[in-house]
């Protein structure tokens, strides 16, 4: 699911090398820097040398002529430096409070301005898009440089590189970590008009995706027969994918799955009739791509590469600000080295290690045996390892709609859900009091607060008849995000350490919650071998999403090499890359070549380079689950997530005692295969029951 954790543009990482070292013009020259450092060491003592040298150098990176003369620079640094000790602690506390006020209120404004788009509140008007695209914080970073607050922070809380954090952080105490995160606040002076343009472009892409529904009740075969309920609409890609998942074990599964698969290919290829997108008034045969109105075939126009138009625009507006990041000159480097704090190459290797593992073919062989047929491309979403795959969706929906007819009913039950997971009554009540449930227009998402006086928001689709099983499953996923958001904001000791290292870590907790959805419904696992099946389910899901993430990563590499591409060029290249990744890592397993299905994910369009967070989340989830075995589930989760925003490897070491790795998942899958394959005949009948 998409996670809306509003991060202000000011929360970034400072350069550690000088602009001169990068070949850029600097107003503050090396002579002025050396003079400033010498003056300050004479005033504050040799014990402050490291902080002074680092702080002065980093302030010089950003000081423009409009900020003052070279003498003004020397005076500012000398007069505003705060030596280590009680006074610096006081300054840190004050700054933390001020940034919480700014971050929290801007987040709240953005939440409210997007409400019409994100919630099921009726028609979206052009003015709604205009307000949702407005970024109220766009001028903030520049304002903080102009009034010297940014320089004050940089001077007194200089930045450390990722390498330094990982090495020095092993000996840092909590306050030293918080000081280091204060040093990560500023890394550029991007003019506000650029930031505003990014916000507007992202909002338009998100609106396009959030309204991309397919009325599957209007899909027909060659005889005009329909196969889904008349009023059933599925958002792409989430609900389309989940519908394929829900069909395993049903008598008519294969045809329906192929029908949805054809829809997906038309979306990717942009051969889909424009009239069927979010429109219940036409019938469509996706196998022959024919459109009908009242049973009569009619001509149509295909979608005019709108999907790739939005992706291209998201690339272009982000590329425009590359020049303001001399140390991180591409969005790719900013995404991995700054946001994920794991290098692109490191993540790519992690993914390929699992994708290339011989274990993949073994798991695929087991799936084929369980299905009793050869694998189809859409079996990348095979859901038969989950216990609920032996329970019909109708049966589960009957339970969820009875329990949760409204969002208010779901809200009221949040404490009980946490208690079922092992949380004590008081902490369950506390977390739940910090979460507000709302009916989503799209598939669903979680939006966290940025100040402790506000609530996190849980959005999921709640129909007129109540919360169906798909909505419940998504809601539990989002609730996992909310629990992380509440804990890492309200129970972490320093505000500068709020949050998690990157989005993969919040996804990990969301996955941990989501897989316990049947437990929360009071349904006992009908499969005694569930422990092993869960491992295989995690492994297969990780395999699938790693392929999707590689497509996203490779598309962005291509975009940087081809910045003048047209939407048509981009469409062709996305399809080529998707097929290439498929042929490298999936075709040897599925025996199908040139399949484009890995390009269906909507995140690629409206959340640039978000997708790598998902497989990382699966890997982290598995390591956490292994660690949690035999331990107090709730208390251990609280301990782990209240570490807050350390670097990813430092966080994992503190959580489970080792760094991020796919090897434990591969080894566990091998062990699960031995057990499950031996028990094959006794654990799966291939049929659903009510």
At 51 the pLDDT is 96
Helices 567-585, 253-269: axis angle to 10 degrees equals 140
- What tens digit of pLDDT does each residue of 296-351 get? 999 999 999 999 999 999 999 999 999 888 778 899 999 998 889 998 999 999 99
- What tens digit of pLDDT does each residue of 247-291 get? 998 888 999 999 999 999 999 999 999 999 999 999 999 999 999
Please tell me the distance from the alpha carbon of residue 410 to that of residue 182, in angstroms, as a whole number. Answer: 38
Domain boundary among 256, 279, 306: 306
Residue 190's pLDDT band, with cuts at 50, 70 and 90, is confident
Domain boundary among 265, 281, 306: 306
With the C-alpha atoms ordered 221, 227, 232, 238, is the resulting torsion angle positive or negative? negative
- What tens digit of pLDDT does each residue of 519-528 get? 999 987 666 6
Over residues 377-397, mean pLDDT: 85
At 15 the pLDDT is 33
Please tell me the distance from the alpha carbon of residue 132 to that of residue 109, in angstroms, as a whole number. Answer: 10
Helices (H), 372-445: 393-403, 407-420, 425-433
Strand order in the sheet with 290-293: 283-285, 290-293, 296-298
Mean pLDDT of the residues in the chain: 90
Residue 620's pLDDT band, with cuts at 50, 70 and 90, is very high
Please tell me the distance from the alpha carbon of residue 316 to that of residue 564, in angstroms, as a whole number. Answer: 9
- What tens digit of pLDDT does each residue of 224-247 get? 999 999 999 999 999 999 999 999
| Per-residue pLDDT at 18 exceeds 90 | no
Please tell me the distance from the alpha carbon of residue 48 to that of residue 39, in angstroms, as a whole number. Answer: 12
**Residue 178, domain member (yes or no):** yes
- Give the residues across from 607 on adjacent strands: none
Secondary structure letter of residue 278 according to DSSP = T
**Residue 20, domain member (yes or no):** yes
Same structural domain for residues 279 and 166? no
Please tell me the distance from the alpha carbon of residue 408 to that of residue 672, in angstroms, as a whole number. Answer: 41
Please tell me the distance from the alpha carbon of residue 25 to that of residue 21, in angstroms, as a whole number. Answer: 10
At 526 the pLDDT is 63
Q: Which of 118, 606, 550 is nearest to 314 (CA)?
A: 606
Q: C-alpha angle 74/79/82, rounded to 5°?
A: 120
Range among 128-132, 168-172, 487-491 with highest mean pLDDT value: 487-491
At 325 the pLDDT is 82
Over residues 604-608, mean pLDDT: 94
How many helices (H) and strands (E) the chain has is answered by 32, 9
CA count, 13 A, side-chain hemisphere, 600:
27
Domain boundary among 253, 275, 306: 306
Residue 462's pLDDT band, with cuts at 50, 70 and 90, is confident
| Per-residue pLDDT at 685 exceeds 50 | no
Helices (H), 217-358: 238-246, 253-269, 306-319, 331-333, 344-355
Please tell me the distance from the alpha carbon of residue 537 to that of residue 527, in angstroms, as a whole number. Answer: 14
| % pLDDT > 70, the chain | 93
Q: Which of 533, 509, 265 is nearest to 383 (CA)?
A: 533
Same structural domain for residues 213 and 178? no
Over residues 470-475, mean pLDDT: 91
Same structural domain for residues 245 and 159? no
Please tell me the distance from the alpha carbon of residue 186 to that of residue 441, in angstroms, as a whole number. Answer: 35
| Per-residue pLDDT at 389 exceeds 70 | no
Same structural domain for residues 180 and 227? no
Over residues 48-77, mean pLDDT: 95
Same structural domain for residues 77 and 158? yes
Please tell me the distance from the alpha carbon of residue 457 to that of residue 449, in angstroms, as a whole number. Answer: 8
Same structural domain for residues 16 and 57? yes
Please tell me the distance from the alpha carbon of residue 301 to that of residue 288, in angstroms, as a whole number. Answer: 15
Over residues 118-138, mean pLDDT: 87
Length of the chain: 690
**Residue 533, domain member (yes or no):** no
**C-alpha 282: how far from its chain's center?**
34
At 19 the pLDDT is 45
**Residue 620, domain member (yes or no):** no
Q: Is 591 left (phi over 0), alpha (psi -120 to 50) or beta?
A: left
Please tell me the distance from the alpha carbon of residue 599 to that of residue 609, in angstroms, as a whole number. Answer: 13
**Residue 296, domain member (yes or no):** yes
Range of the domain at 32: 2-97+139-191
Residue 213 CB neighbour total at 10 angstroms:
19
Same structural domain for residues 159 and 292? no
| Per-residue pLDDT at 6 exceeds 60 | no
Same structural domain for residues 185 and 232? no
Collapsing DSSP states into helix, strand and coil, what is residue 333?
A: helix
**Residue 144, domain member (yes or no):** yes
Same structural domain for residues 185 and 227? no
Same structural domain for residues 148 and 212? no
At 683 the pLDDT is 40
Over residues 572-592, mean pLDDT: 98
Residue 163 CB neighbour total at 10 angstroms:
10
**Residue 176, domain member (yes or no):** yes
- What tens digit of pLDDT does each residue of 91-112 get? 999 999 999 999 999 999 999 9
**Number of domains composing the chain:** 2
**Residue 521, domain member (yes or no):** no
Same structural domain for residues 179 and 232? no
Q: Which residue has the higher pLDDT, 617 or 525?
A: 617
Same structural domain for residues 223 and 271? yes
């Amino acid at each position: 699911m998409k996670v809306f954790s509003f991060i202000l543009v000011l929360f970034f990482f400072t350069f550690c090398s000088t602009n001169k070292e990068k070949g850029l013009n600097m107003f503050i020259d090396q002579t002025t820097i050396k003079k400033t450092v010498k003056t300050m060491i004479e005033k504050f003592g040799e014990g402050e040398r490291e902080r002074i040298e680092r702080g002065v150098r980093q302030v010089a990176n950003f000081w423009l002529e409009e900020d003052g003369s070279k003498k003004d620079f020397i005076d500012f640094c000398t007069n505003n430096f705060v030596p280590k000790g009680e006074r610096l602690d006081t300054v840190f506390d004050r700054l933390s409070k001020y940034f919480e006020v700014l971050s929290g209120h801007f987040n709240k404004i953005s939440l409210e301005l997007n409400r019409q788009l994100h919630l099921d509140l009726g028609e979206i008007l052009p003015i709604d898009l205009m307000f949702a695209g407005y970024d109220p914080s766009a001028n903030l970073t520049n304002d903080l440089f102009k009034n010297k607050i940014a320089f004050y922070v940089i001077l007194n809380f200089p930045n450390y590189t990722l390498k330094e954090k990982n090495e020095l952080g092993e000996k840092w105490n909590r306050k030293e970590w918080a000081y280091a995160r204060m040093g990560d606040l500023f890394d550029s002076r991007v003019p506000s008009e650029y930031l505003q343009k990014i916000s507007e472009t992202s909002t338009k892409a998100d609106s396009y995706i959030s309204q991309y529904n397919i009325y599957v009740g209007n899909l027909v075969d060659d005889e005009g027969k329909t196969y889904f309920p008349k009023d059933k609409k599925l958002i792409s890609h989430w609900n389309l994918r989940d519908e394929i998942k829900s069909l395993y074990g049903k008598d008519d599964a294969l045809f329906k799955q192929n029908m949805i698969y054809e829809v997906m290919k038309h979306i990717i290829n942009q051969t889909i009739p424009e009239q069927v997108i979010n429109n219940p008034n036409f019938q469509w045969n996706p196998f022959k791509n024919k459109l009908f109105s009242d049973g009569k075939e009619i001509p149509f126009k295909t979608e005019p590469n709108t999907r790739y138009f939005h992706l291209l625009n998201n690339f272009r507006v982000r590329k425009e600000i590359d020049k303001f990041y001399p140390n991180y000159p591409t969005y790719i480097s900013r995404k991995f080295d700054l946001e994920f704090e794991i290098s692109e190459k490191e993540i790519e290797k992690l993914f390929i290690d699992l994708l290339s593992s011989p274990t993949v073919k073994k798991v695929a062989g087991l799936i084929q045996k369980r299905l009793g047929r050869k694998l189809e491309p859409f079996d990348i979403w095979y859901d038969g390892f989950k216990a609920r795959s032996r329970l019909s969706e109708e049966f589960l929906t009957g339970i969820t709609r009875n329990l949760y007819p409204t969002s208010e009913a779901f809200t009221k039950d949040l404490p009980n859900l946490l208690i079922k997971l092992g949380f004590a009554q008081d902490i369950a009540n506390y977390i739940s009091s910090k979460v507000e449930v709302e009916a989503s227009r799209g598939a669903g998402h979680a939006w966290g607060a940025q100040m402790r006086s506000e609530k996190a928001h849980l959005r999921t689709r709640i129909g007129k008849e109540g919360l169906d099983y798909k909505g419940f499953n998504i809601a539990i996923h989002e609730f996992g995000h909310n629990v992380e958001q509440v804990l890492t904001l309200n129970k972490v000791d320093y505000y500068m350490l709020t949050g998690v290292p990157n989005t993969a870590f919040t996804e990990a907790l969301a996955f941990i919650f989501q897989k316990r959805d049947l437990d929360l419904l009071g349904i006992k696992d009908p499969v005694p071998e569930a422990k092993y099946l869960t491992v295989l389910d995690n492994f297969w899901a990780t395999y699938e999403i790693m392929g999707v993430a590689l497509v996203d990563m490779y598309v962005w590499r291509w975009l940087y090499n081809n910045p003048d591409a047209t939407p048509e060029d981009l469409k062709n290249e996305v399809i080529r890359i998707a097929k290439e990744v498929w042929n490298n890592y999936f075709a040897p397993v599925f025996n199908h070549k040139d399949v484009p299905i890995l390009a269906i994910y909507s995140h690629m369009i409206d959340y640039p380079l978000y997708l790598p967070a998902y497989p990382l989340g699966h890997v982290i989830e598995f390591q956490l689950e292994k660690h949690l075995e035999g331990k107090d589930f709730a208390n251990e989760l609280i301990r782990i997530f209240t570490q807050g925003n350390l670097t990813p490897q430092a966080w994992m070491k503190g959580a489970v005692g080792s760094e991020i790795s796919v090897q434990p998942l591969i080894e566990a899958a091998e062990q699960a295969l031995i057990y499950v394959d031996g028990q094959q005949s006794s654990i799966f009948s291939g049929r659903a029951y009510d």
